[in-house]
Every structure is written in C-alpha cells, then in structure tokens.
A = this chain, B = another copy of it.
Amino acid sequence: MSAEPSSLPLPTPTSSSSPAPRFGVWFVGARGSVATTAIAGCAAVAAGLHPPTGMVTETPDFAACGLPSLSSLVFGGHDTVDCPLPKRAEHLAAGGVLPHGLPSAVHTELAAADAEIRPGGPLPRDPDGGPARTDDDWIDVFTADIRDFVGRQNLAGAVVVNVASTEPAPADGSLPPSSLYAAAALRAGCPYVNFTPSTGLHHPRLAPLADSSGLPYAGRDGKTGQTLLRSVLGPMFLQRALTVRAWSGTNLLGGGDGAALADPAAAAAKNAGKERVLADTLGAAPEGEVHIDDVPALGDWKTAWDHIAFDGFLGSRMILQTIWQGCDSALAAPLVLDLARLTLRAREKGLSGPLADLGFYFKDPVGDGPSSLAEQYTRLRHFAARLRTASDASGAHR
C-alpha cells in the first residue's frame, strides 16, 4: 500500500479570465443525515434561503481568509445504502430536521450530489465483504472513485470528510473501513477530516503515510452537543477552583446514530472522546459514567442530561445539571462545511500534517492544543489569520 499524493498536482492559481475554481467535498457516508443536511443546507444558504446559523466560517473573523465560497462546493461521496439524497432529505424534513419545503427547493443540488455517490466498501463485520478484495484493493477502488470525481468535475481540489456511522474499535491489526477510506484520501492527494470517533488515520499502519503525504488532516469526532458543553463547563470549575467530584451523563437519541451507538463497542469509542474532554479540562477524570441509549421515538433529536456534583468552599456540596435538546445533524452539518472549507484552504496554502488549530471542532483533536473551548476558539482565530496572509508555504508542522 502506498500513498501517491504527488500524482495529483497542487492546484495552480487560476487566471482572472478563467471561471471561478470549484472544490470537491467527498463524504464517506454521503447519504447519512449529516451529509444530507450539509448538502441541502449549503445550497439553501448559498441561495440566501437561510442565514448561515452555526457556520463559524461565515462570521466576520473568517471573511478575508480566502475560503472557498459555499457556491463553489461540489459534493459526492461513498455510501453503502441506496436511498437517493432527495428522498433522504424528505425523510429528514418529515422528522423535523430539515425545514419543510427545503428538499424541493434544493432538489437540483441534491440530485446532482446523489449522482456523484459511489458504492461504499466493506461493512463492519460483513461476513462476505472481506475475502474477495484485499484492503489494498478497496483502497484502490475508493481512490479511483475520488480521482474520477475530481477529474470529471474539473475541481481545483477536494477534501474527504468522514461522516459515516461510528464503527466499532477494530479488534486486531486489520484496517477498519474508515481507515480504508482515509488511505484512499491520501492516495488521491486529498486532505482528510474525520468527524467521527472511528479509526480513520489513527491506525499504526496509516500514521507514516499520513506524515509523508504532505497533506493536512483534521479530526477526530465532532464536538456538537454534550461534549461541547463539557468543554466550556469543565474550564469554569477549574478556573474557579471548584472540585468536581462526579460528572455523569445520559444521552438519548434515535435515528441511525442511536442504533449504531447501541452497539457497546461503538459506544465505547464515542464515550472515550467525551471522557477525554473532562479529564483534559478538569485535570483528572471525575467519578461518573456516560450512557448512550437508542430511543427510536426521538428520531434525529437528541437529549443529553449531565449531572455534575462539585464541592465548594469548606466542602459544601453543590450540583449543576444541564439538559441539552438538539438535532445532531443540524449541529454537525455547519461544522462539517466549516471544516471542509478550512481544510481545503489549508491545503491551498500548503499546510500539512495534523491541524491542531481545529481542536475547536473535535472531542479528540489531532496534534497538541488546549482543551477548553475558549482557548480553542482563540487558536481557531489565529489559524484564520494565517489563512489570510498573502503567501504562506509553511506547513502545519512548522
């Protein structure tokens, strides 16, 4: 297995007379709730149908960073399910995730993206998926799909973003599906974003390839709800010298994510990120567990209850409880669009390696960075400032 990033040349500056460059966003899990919401929402915001609520890259700090515009993004991806994007969008509208009327308003864009979706690879634990093809075979297939997309669409660059369901932690040394896609991204010369807790590039066999690829990458596990809260509340307790004794949480969610996380192995992968945030922001892991319950009745809406027992002055016992009711897809989609734009621009600026400055978005960020949201936000704005500078050949590593 080898990564061949050099086979795809760096995008060349476009002349002023040529049409505006377009950029590809290749979703692993392209027919899931997050991808569907991101594709539909990108079209809706680009058309002015909705304000860009939730998109940090549309705030003033990011105005002059040279990010790809929303209307320049072209979507495609892999998926193992067949339900076409326009129909998937109708389902999401029926469940209250997308506004009624939106699926028909952006039908053209959904259909166009759906035409760029290719069959996905070995399902986790698929008894029949493995034998016929080797890991390398799968990577080659995926790489060819991505290159074909970039070539046919004449894209100035593309980013691969994993938004597939969480997969169980791999049992042995074999490459799980998320890593096959990640390897294909490298081989196709694309930056890579892992928005899930799945392995992706975090595999011993992929680490050297990632390092030598000269490509930027980001991840892991988008910080959308309960963990977002934890990353602002944890620092508050630390800064106020209040001793957190126990931090317990329960998540109720339906939809595909709920079913996937009902698998204890998948849930374990998810919870590791949540607990890491607490341990990092508090300095030590408190007592307490995290539960993720599959509650189909809730559809794509998630409720997260947190119960925090802490000690104040003279050992007084106090409690903070939080209840977060949100729609995960609607929380994730704008972040995914942010990450695609930032990573595409980072590639354009020649940055490479782990983008630690994007820790704002993740439960378990690559590279070294702060764990409190406020400090992560400061880092993100500094990153924006770097993207703004006229010419910058320095990589993320330097």
Contacts and interface: CB of A to CB of B under 8 A. Distances in A.
Interface string A27-67: 00000000001001100100000111111101100000000
A246 interface: yes
Interface stretch (A15-23, A135-143, A317-325): A317-325
Contacts of A102: 314
A104 to B, nearest CB: 12
Contacts of A334: 241, 312-313
Interface in A342-375: 360, 372-375
Interface string A281-313: 000001111010101111000010101010111
Interface stretch (A92-100, A202-210, A382-390): A92-100
Interface residues of A, number: 76
Contacts of A55: 241, 313
A245 interface: yes
Interface stretch (A79-87, A163-171, A230-238, A268-276): A230-238
Nearest to A303: B307
Interface in A215-270: 228-229, 232-233, 235-236, 239-243, 245-246, 248, 250, 252
A273 to B, nearest CB: 18
A331 interface: yes
Nearest to A335: B240
Contact of A246 (B229, B298, B307, B333): B298
A50 to B, nearest CB: 5
A58 to B, nearest CB: 7
Q: Is the interface of A mostly helix, strand, loop or mixed?
A: mixed
A111 to B, nearest CB: 19
Contacts of A325: 318-321
A326 B305 contact: no
A316 interface: yes
Given A239-B377, A241-B56, A314 B252 contact: no
A339 interface: no
B305 A250 contact: yes
Contacts of A180: none
A59 B241 contact: yes
A233 B240 CA distance: 15
A182 interface: no
Contacts of A44: 314
B318 A297 contact: no
A313 B312 CA distance: 27
Contact of A316 (B232, B242, B327): B327
Contacts of A186: none
A252 B241 contact: no
A117 to B, nearest CB: 22
